[in-house]
Amino acid sequence: MAPAFVSLMTIAAVVAALLAFLGLTTVLGQRYGLHPELKRKILHTGLGLSALAFPFLFHRLWEMGLLCAILLIVLFVVRRLPALKSGLGSSLHGVERVSFGEVFFVLAVLALYVLARDRLVLYVVPLIILTLSDAAAALVGVRYGKRAFDVVNGKKSLEGMLAFFGVTFVSVALCLYGLADLPVDVIVLTAFLLAVLGALTEAVLWHGLDNIFVPLGGYLLLSYTLDAQPGELIAAAIALILLTGLALASRRFSQLNTHALMMAMICAAILWLVGGIAWVSIALVIFGVHVAIVGWLHKDDGVYTIEAVFCVASSAMIWLTVWQAYRYEDAFFLYCLAMAIHIQVNLLLRLKAHRQQLAGPVEVTIAAFLSGGAMMALYMLFAGPTQAHVVRAGLVIVALAVGGMLTRVTADRFTRSRWVAQASFALFGSLLGWVILESTGL
């Protein structure tokens, strides 16, 4: 029998089994009057536990890609067709809040499969956190949550957050003990770091975004801690405390709300632990520029939400993941390029709001020199001031000036469309930089 045919039959069997599990959960939920959150988390746990077997069932990327594509299509159809949404999909969509958690779950599983490759522990541990800890937090929060706090679109509880921490700590420690040849102190410190950052991330996110940020953040941290010494992990815990203190102390100087500041701290911690001082220095400069602009052009009544952090952190985390997974040397340069674009857009939009008019060619050029010059100076500080790096810096400044004049940044500073556009500019600009590097050998 042809291997491809066997793979297709395996994929079909997995999809059929998951659909049967979805139907069974729906029937039992209706028969016994289960709470919508309980039904949702039963599905969540079932999908996660079944996904643990995927590396053993599927050995080629196209198999995993096809499986996840089929699952996403099924989820889309169930969400869009009212009859299916209220029937078969009632276990997924019975909660009142808007959530795309099931979609992010499938994407997270696919991303972990691609990134972990042959290191099973890098696939299993983040998936266990996603499967067990998230479900525990939700169920404990619904059943025993008394100390609630506001999040963007609803409430979460301290009890749920503590449940996430406890389940993560225990499950990570057990997985590492069984799957990795590590000293006990490294296992304990790794479990502690993953539990703290995972609980904080789960607490501030909404719409199911924790289903992708928690496992991918867990992958990045675990890929670092597996090769770290106990002293380095203790230093990482101290760094986490320092960054938390910085986030809390900077509330009065920033226009980021509390949730956004906490998410910024989490991203900075990941950049520090995985990328080192060079990567986190760029992020701290970005935050410093934000604080300086607020002080220079005066703080208005607008508030930046967690979407602002997602906007800036998206390209940072993409290039950090590329560097960590593939050790691509130019990932740091492309990260600096993306951050230069963010600074330029921030400067131009602030200037537009302050002067009530679009920036002209002179202002755009000055912004290009300031943003590109600052980021490229930091790039050469950490990568070395070689002739090739100086050429890169010059090209970046010219590209920022030309790009700023062509795009004519006009968005309202506080709209979601602004953050989507800015994130797209930064990611597209850095991807274009990657294409140029690979094609010219600069």
Whether 235 is covered by a domain: the verdict is yes
Comparing 148 with 433, the larger pLDDT belongs to 433
Whether 344 is covered by a domain: the verdict is yes
Whether 321 is covered by a domain: the verdict is yes
Averaged pLDDT score across all residues of the chain: 83
**Mean pLDDT in residue range 204-233:** 84
Round to whole Å and give the CA distance between 424 and 418: 10
Q: Number of structural domains, the chain?
A: 1
Whether 308 is covered by a domain: the verdict is yes
**Rg (the chain; Cα; Å):** 23
What pLDDT is stored for residue 91 in this prediction?
Answer: 53
pLDDT digits (tens, 9 = 90+) for 308-332: 888 889 899 999 999 988 888 899 9
Distances (CA, A) of 234 to 190, 225, 231, 245, 367: 10, 11, 5, 17, 40
Whether 174 is covered by a domain: the verdict is no
Distances (CA, A) of 42 to 24, 36, 204, 248: 11, 10, 23, 36
Structural domain harbouring 406 = 229-442
Query: Per-residue pLDDT for 161 more than 90?
Result: no
Query: Per-residue pLDDT for 126 more than 60?
Result: yes
Query: Per-residue pLDDT for 151 more than 70?
Result: no
Among 221, 190, 215, 189, which Cα is nearest to 202's?
215
Whether 56 is covered by a domain: the verdict is no
pLDDT digits (tens, 9 = 90+) for 34-84: 677 777 778 878 888 999 999 998 988 999 999 999 989 888 887 776 666
Whether 395 is covered by a domain: the verdict is yes
Whether 276 is covered by a domain: the verdict is yes
pTM assigned to the model: 0.82
Handedness of CA 160, 164, 169, 175 (dihedral sign): positive
